[in-house]
Structure 1
Amino acid sequence: MHWLMQRPVRLVPIGFGTTILIGTLVLMLPWATGQQRHTPFVTAFFTAASAVSVTGLAVVDTPNYWNDFGLVVITVLTQVGGLGILAGATLIILVVSHRLGLRNRLLVQAETAEFGLGDVRRLLFRIAAISLAVEATIAVILTLRLWVRYDYAFGEALWAGVFHAVQAFNNGGFALYTDGLIGLSSDAWLILPMAFGALIGGLGFPALFEAIRGWRHPAGWSVATKLTLWGSATLLIAGFLALLAAEWSNPYTLGIRPWPDKLLAAFAQNAFFRTGGFNVINIEALGEEGIPVIIALMFIGGGSASTAGGIKVSTFFLLAFVIWAELRGEPDVTVRHRRVATASQRQAVTVALLGVALVVAGTVTLILLTEGVPHHFALFEVTSAFSTAGLSLGLARDLPASGQIVLIALMYIGRVGSLTLGSALALNTRRRLYRYPEEQPLVG
């Protein structure tokens, strides 16, 4: 155990891997399915990995294949995965910040507004309390709406409310309906609470805590919080307008709806694009114009230290500021009158390029393993798995076992990889007492 204590960051992949294996074994039991039969290993493995990584991709019809026990297991795995992500990110930030030198510790502290080691218990309690409070609020609204408006029995409405509240906040994406949330997409009382739950869960606790604490003075927010909040708002508006423009006349998605329902469905679906996983329109019927936009939004993902995946909003917009500074010939990269450390710029480039490499490698592998699959279908499914978005064009369930294992690996890497990679890059920061002569090789 000495090697584990020397690098506690290793607990994250080990913990997630162990939880996935336990979930797989439980889901393989015959009383987890409606047919009372043993679930094939790959199917159970895929479902457990999707739930723990809060992805929501499925290779079976979730509400019809799994019985109540199986759905409870999926709910528990999603909740454990979501809270584990938040708690793991918390501990990693604390460990990383206290393993750095004083100078870098002050930088991390300024950027994350994090607590001290003595506040770990209080910080974890706050994370759990906020998570459960948001989930409870969503569950109450959904339960009352289903009970009063749709004549559900109270117990049935309560179960549906709790299930979808857990999935929404944790960006899980599993649904109790065969068509996802399409049948409920015109009901704002059901769709909007889940959409806002996914948005809150996808912000990340550092940005969320700082925004709550300093809501009266947003100018005083750290660079990380500004990038996350303003970046998320920008993507939300841009994605909403792009989806409306691409699908407004598509009769299989938004075209047949009255315009208020179009706006509601477009807003909610755009909120779920970046990792929420729910579908309020028929994803398989999307036009070719909308698919590239969705792939880009999924790849970017949500906020750092959140239940969302992807390369993260702060990474994407930090790279945008790096490009802008380079185009203008600026010696420093600045965000709102703050100079961004060179180490953070290199880390952002590393995370983004490794994300691109994983998506390209996964797409090529999937194409090679599956004959006749359209390339953009493979790219969509791979990006969805890596970013833990959970949306699908229907390819995942038709893949052979080898292709599904590729998606499982991407879900696992996309979920724990960003945490461990980010901590490894931060812990690897060091200062040399000397510097080599500088050269400027030709670029471009």
Structure 2
Amino acid sequence: MKSIAHPPRVVALAFLLAIAAGTLLLVLPISQADGRPVPWLTAVFTAVSAVCVTGLVVVDTGTYWSGFGQAVILVLFQIGGFGMMTAATLLGLMVNRSLRLRTRLITQVETRSLGMGDVTSVARLVLAVTLASEAIVATLLTLRLRHAHDLPWGDAVWSGLFHAVSAFNNAGISIHADSLTRYAADALILIPVMLATVVGGIGFPVLHDVRRKARSPHHWSLHTKLTLAGTAVLLAMGFAGVLLFEWTNPNTLGPMSAADKLLSAAFASVAARTAGFNTLDISLLTPETWALHYFLMFVGGGSASTAGGVKVGTIAILVLLVIAEIRGQSDCEAYGRRLGASAQRQAITVLVLGSALVTLGTLVLLRTTDVPTDQIIFEVIAAFGTTGLSTGITGDLPVPAQLTLILLMYAGRVGTITLAASLVLGERRMPFRYPEEHPIVG
């Protein structure tokens, strides 16, 4: 029993250790392209961004870091993505198992679809999905880069592998200074990247549930249904919004053909969900598109996935709660199931604390920089949501602002799972209840 008393602390510590190891490797002269020692802040920022699969960078990954440095970064965001999926999945199983032995508690980590199988087999399945997805996408990208873009085989293989792993782990780190802008009209590059991003960001519990019950979708868990429905709505919203706000923008979609506009809008919608890649210059987007990105980045992807944010399931629960309240229903329901009161409270807690972190980070950056407010908000939400998109101000921020982003990246990546697990593990039944009263709301 006591061995799982503080699993959230283990997860948080594991990420810190990975960040420390990555920093020590990146600070070495061999990690920089010109062989000079790397400043500590640059190494720390890059290590945090990689392990937390965020994608924000203060230096150009392709030119600043050597081949060794780039390999270290790749390993870091592979560990960060795979470690997050494994930690979230296995932590949910441990919590669920402990609840069966102790009391009736429900976990927001939402891993019922995984059952109570052997922990080792679950980890192996996560590893298999990760490596298979990355291998397929890397192969497709390599062949396309070699035959359509005339890259030498060595460069094509490295670029394909790096971007495939980065995409699946929703890291958003590219070895190109312009991210994927040079491939904005190449569907055979962008579509595999989008698919890897969606698969990695949908959440392993959903993938496992769909795999087991592929022939009977009506038997999918409520978590799977909410995540898939919420993801579809958000992707459609982002796609339609980018087309609407950027269609005539001469700096983004304006000069493109209709087909390329549709492709770029679809990619932007997927990337805003914590992927971090871009084919459009973020700094040239309209204010309306920035505002749309605020929301998409804050929500993020699915629970127990490589994506960040407050998670699709959290927002779905809150939307259902609002709908139930508007209709005057005492129960919050969806797909013939009733949502437990604890899940509703946990969703509200995650949203409030996430909003508080974003607000606090925004205030700190406003205090320490003279950057316009809308760009600061974008940068802060990108850090918290581990998205990695930027309007181009990251490398020019002062030290206090960069340290703030480091804390936001770590809190946004590790905080959601540790918070969810802590809420479950800390839940207890009180031996008494106070008299009920209804304060005025609104």
TM-score with structure 1 setting the length: 0.96
Letter aligned with residue 129 of structure 1: A
Residue 71 of structure 1: CA displacement?
Answer: 0.5
Letter aligned with residue 301 of structure 1: G
1:73-84 aligned within 5 A: 73-84=72-83
SS state at 2:91 partner: helix
Identify which range, 103-112 or 136-145, moves more after superposition. Answer: 103-112
Q: After the TM superposition, which parts of structure 1 deviate over 3 Å for at least 4 consecutive aligned residues?
A: 2-6, 101-111
Please say if residues 247 and 254 of structure 1, whose CA atoms lie closer than 8 Å, have aligned partners that are also in contact: yes
1:344-355 aligned within 5 A: 344-355=343-354
Following the alignment from structure 1 to structure 2, what is the Cα–Cα distance between the partners of residues 73 and 249?
Answer: 41
1:395 corresponding residue in structure 2: 393
Letter aligned with residue 212 of structure 2: R
Residue 113 (structure 2) pairs with residue 113 (structure 1): yes
SS state at 2:274 partner: coil
1:26-65 aligned within 5 A: 26-65=25-64
Following the alignment from structure 2 to structure 1, what is the Cα–Cα distance between the partners of residues 136 and 384?
Answer: 30
1:291-440 aligned within 5 A: 291-370=290-369, 372-440=370-438
Following the alignment from structure 2 to structure 1, what is the Cα–Cα distance between the partners of residues 35 and 222?
Answer: 53
Residue 136 (structure 2) pairs with residue 137 (structure 1): yes
Please say if residues 246 and 252 of structure 2, whose CA atoms lie closer than 8 Å, have aligned partners that are also in contact: yes
Residue 232 (structure 2) pairs with residue 228 (structure 1): no
2:213 corresponding residue in structure 1: 214
SS state at 1:134 partner: helix
What's the CA shift string for 1:222-265, capped at 9, x where partnerless? Answer: 11111111100110011100010000111111111111001011
What is the Cα-based RMSD across aligned positions, in Å? 1.7
Following the alignment from structure 2 to structure 1, what is the Cα–Cα distance between the partners of residues 107 and 335?
Answer: 16
Letter aligned with residue 268 of structure 1: F
218 and 174 in structure 1: CA distance in 2 versus 1, 3 angstrom threshold: same
1:259 corresponding residue in structure 2: 258
Please say if residues 4 and 10 of structure 1, whose CA atoms lie closer than 8 Å, have aligned partners that are also in contact: no
What's the CA shift string for 1:144-189, capped at 9, x where partnerless? Answer: 1111111211121111110000000000111121111001111111
What's the CA shift string for 1:284-303, capped at 9, x where partnerless? Answer: 11111111100100000000
Number of equivalences = 441
Letter aligned with residue 395 of structure 1: I
Following the alignment from structure 1 to structure 2, what is the Cα–Cα distance between the partners of residues 98 and 175?
Answer: 40
What's the CA shift string for 1:110-165, capped at 9, x where partnerless? Answer: 9621232x511110000000000000000000011111111211121111110000
SS state at 2:202 partner: coil
Letter aligned with residue 415 of structure 1: R
Please say if residues 109 and 417 of structure 2, whose CA atoms lie closer than 8 Å, have aligned partners that are also in contact: no
Residue 106 of structure 1: CA displacement?
Answer: 7.6
Following the alignment from structure 2 to structure 1, what is the Cα–Cα distance between the partners of residues 110 and 205?
Answer: 11
107 and 337 in structure 1: CA distance in 2 versus 1, 3 angstrom threshold: farther
1:155-304 aligned within 5 A: 155-304=154-303
Please say if residues 90 and 305 of structure 1, whose CA atoms lie closer than 8 Å, have aligned partners that are also in contact: yes
Following the alignment from structure 1 to structure 2, what is the Cα–Cα distance between the partners of residues 334 and 430?
Answer: 24
Please say if residues 86 and 305 of structure 1, whose CA atoms lie closer than 8 Å, have aligned partners that are also in contact: yes
Please say if residues 89 and 111 of structure 2, whose CA atoms lie closer than 8 Å, have aligned partners that are also in contact: no
Following the alignment from structure 1 to structure 2, what is the Cα–Cα distance between the partners of residues 267 and 112?
Answer: 32
Structure 1: which 5+ residue stretches go unaligned?
none
Following the alignment from structure 1 to structure 2, what is the Cα–Cα distance between the partners of residues 70 and 432?
Answer: 53
Residue 91 of structure 1: CA displacement?
Answer: 1.9
Following the alignment from structure 1 to structure 2, what is the Cα–Cα distance between the partners of residues 170 and 21?
Answer: 20
Following the alignment from structure 1 to structure 2, what is the Cα–Cα distance between the partners of residues 437 and 5?
Answer: 35
Letter aligned with residue 248 of structure 1: W
Following the alignment from structure 1 to structure 2, what is the Cα–Cα distance between the partners of residues 150 and 110?
Answer: 43
Q: Percent identity among equivalent residues?
A: 46
Structure 2: which 5+ residue stretches go unaligned?
none
Residue 9 of structure 1: CA displacement?
Answer: 2.5
108 and 214 in structure 1: CA distance in 2 versus 1, 3 angstrom threshold: farther
Following the alignment from structure 1 to structure 2, what is the Cα–Cα distance between the partners of residues 439 and 333?
Answer: 21
Letter aligned with residue 178 of structure 2: D
18 and 333 in structure 1: CA distance in 2 versus 1, 3 angstrom threshold: same
SS state at 1:274 partner: helix
393 and 121 in structure 1: CA distance in 2 versus 1, 3 angstrom threshold: same
64 and 109 in structure 1: CA distance in 2 versus 1, 3 angstrom threshold: closer
Identify which range, 99-108 or 320-329, moves more after superposition. Answer: 99-108
Residue 419 of structure 1: CA displacement?
Answer: 0.8
165 and 111 in structure 1: CA distance in 2 versus 1, 3 angstrom threshold: closer
Following the alignment from structure 2 to structure 1, what is the Cα–Cα distance between the partners of residues 9 and 204?
Answer: 21
Following the alignment from structure 1 to structure 2, what is the Cα–Cα distance between the partners of residues 137 and 284?
Answer: 32
Residue 329 of structure 1: CA displacement?
Answer: 0.9
Residue 98 of structure 1: CA displacement?
Answer: 2.0
Please say if residues 160 and 176 of structure 1, whose CA atoms lie closer than 8 Å, have aligned partners that are also in contact: yes
Following the alignment from structure 2 to structure 1, what is the Cα–Cα distance between the partners of residues 106 and 240?
Answer: 40
SS state at 1:361 partner: helix
Residue 104 of structure 1: CA displacement?
Answer: 3.2
Residue 105 of structure 1: CA displacement?
Answer: 5.8
Please say if residues 110 and 222 of structure 1, whose CA atoms lie closer than 8 Å, have aligned partners that are also in contact: no
